[in-house]
Amino acid sequence: MSKPARTVFCFGVYLGLLGAWVVSFPNSLLTTFGFPTTNEVWIRMLGALVLVLSFFYIQFARKEMKDAFHLTVYGRSAMLIFYATFVWRGYVAPAIILFGLVDLIGALWTVVALRSD
Per-residue pLDDT, 26: 95
Mean pLDDT score of the chain = 95
The predicted model gives 36-52 an average pLDDT of 96
pLDDT band at residue 89 using 50, 70 and 90 as cut-offs: very high
Residue 52: alpha-carbon gap to chain centroid: 11
Task: Give me the sign of the Cα torsion angle 46, 47, 48, 50.
Answer: positive
Q: Given pLDDT bands bounded at 50, 70 and 90, which one contains residue 92?
A: confident
pLDDT score at 33: 81
